[in-house]
């Protein structure tokens, strides 16, 4: 597996490096540590100031790379470094595509004052626009040496199946537990609870039949994912829930104690660079790292 770790020298980047250090990477794996030196878009009467600032950025860039490499000293994978100039999000994506990277890893910087409910613009842009899967790390809430808990939310779509294949290739710790989750949207979810009782018996029967079919399909989706992943994870559980996907996934992740939420990114048709609402909400509100998978079709368009 080839991983591109984007670092800006912040504590959030150190968290990303620590996440990679917790995987069972081998000498067959490779980590490219990338730092982007961004130029100033304001060449005016203050140009000399920005020239000096650019010089300083160039000077400290090797130290930023060295710091990230030091954080990976326990990793057995081959490690190389890259230093590029440009807009951070575009440079990260372009570097990943050009190097044939399997996964981009970036730390969520967050927005001050909003308690990490929203991630920074660069992180969001990379997760949104990248044709390559992106792992967004967040500060670790608990330590489980040698173990992890992964929640994989699947809807049976092509992006979800591609994410399952990616999960099967990531060298998680040996005792990692996997929860495969599918959320069924309720046929009466848009009817206020106090009015549900007024639905006549015939409609109730129709709703019950539809619900049974939905749960049968949910079980099929979970079983399909299990077949992709049972060779990689020793302990796999399935969970079907009814409701709003983003709410149910985040709730289940909290109860499960997930160290990682993985889900495929469907995207919004006709709107370039926009993720689907579920992926976006999970990325914004999750308290643990989020792996955003991409479909093979989208990756091939890079």
Q: Domain ranges in the chain?
A: 1-139, 141-302
**Residue from 296, 12, 271, 241 nearest 140 by CA:** 12
Asked whether the domain spanning 141-302 has the same topology as the one spanning 1-139, the reply is yes
Amino acid 268: pLDDT: 43
CB atoms within 10 A of CB 170: 22
Helix (H, G, I), strand (E, B) or coil at 140: coil
Amino acid 48: pLDDT: 55
Question: Does domain 1-139 sit in CATH 3.40.50.620?
Answer: yes
Sole residue written with tokens 């591109």: 4
Record the pTM. Answer: 0.85
Q: What are the backbone angles phi and psi of residue 262, rounded to the nearest 5°?
A: -120, 135
* CATH number assigned to the domain covering 141-302: 3.40.50.620
Q: Which long-range contacts (CB under 8 A, 24 or more apart) does 223-229 make?
A: 224/154, 224/156, 224/161, 225/152, 225/154, 225/156, 225/160, 225/161, 225/164, 225/180, 226/180, 228/161, 228/164, 228/165, 228/168, 229/152, 229/164, 229/167, 229/168, 229/178, 229/180
Question: For residues 93 and 130, is the Cβ–Cβ distance under 8 A?
Answer: yes
Per-residue pLDDT of the chain (302 residues; tens, 9 = 90+): 999 999 999 888 999 999 999 999 999 999 999 999 886 555 554 555 455 556 667 888 999 999 999 999 999 999 999 999 999 999 999 999 999 999 999 998 654 444 444 567 888 889 989 999 999 998 765 566 667 999 999 999 988 999 999 999 999 998 899 999 999 876 666 666 566 666 667 676 777 787 888 899 999 999 999 998 988 898 999 999 988 899 999 999 999 999 999 999 865 443 344 456 888 889 888 989 999 998 755 454 44
């Amino acid at each position: 597996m080839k991983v591109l770790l984007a670092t800006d020298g912040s504590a959030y980047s150190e968290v990303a490096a620590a996440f990679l250090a917790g995987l069972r990477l081998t000498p067959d794996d490779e980590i490219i540590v990338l730092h982007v030196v961004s130029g100033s878009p304001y060449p005016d009467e203050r140009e000399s100031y920005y020239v000096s600032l650019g010089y300083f950025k160039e000077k400290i860039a090797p130290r930023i790379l060295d710091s990230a490499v030091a954080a990976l000293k326990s990793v057995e994978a081959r490690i190389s470094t890259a230093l590029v100039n440009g807009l951070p999000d575009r440079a990260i994506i372009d570097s990943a595509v050009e190097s044939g990277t399997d996964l981009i890893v970036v730390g969520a910087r967050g927005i001050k004052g909003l308690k990490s409910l929203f991630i920074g613009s660069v992180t969001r842009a990379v997760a949104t626009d990248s044709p390559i899967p992106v792992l967004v790390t967040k500060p670790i809430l608990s330590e489980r040496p040698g173990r992890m808990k992964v929640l994989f939310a699947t809807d049976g779509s092509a992006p979800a199946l591609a994410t399952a294949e990616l999960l099967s290739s990531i060298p998680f710790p040996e005792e990692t537990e996997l929860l495969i989750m599918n959320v069924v949207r309720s046929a009466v979810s848009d009817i206020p609870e106090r009015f549900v009782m007024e639905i006549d018996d015939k409609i109730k029967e129709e709703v019950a039949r539809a619900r049974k079919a939905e749960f049968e399909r949910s079980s099929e989706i979970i079983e399909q994912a299990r077949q992709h992943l049972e060779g990689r994870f020793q302990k796999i559980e399935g969970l079907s829930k009814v409701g709003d996907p983003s709410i149910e996934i985040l709730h289940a992740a909290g109860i499960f104690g997930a160290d990682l939420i993985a889900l495929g990114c469907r995207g919004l048709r006709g709107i370039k660079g926009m993720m689907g609402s579920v992926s976006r909400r999970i990325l914004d509100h999750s308290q643990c790292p989020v792996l955003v998978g991409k479909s093979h079709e989208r990756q091939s368009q890079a």
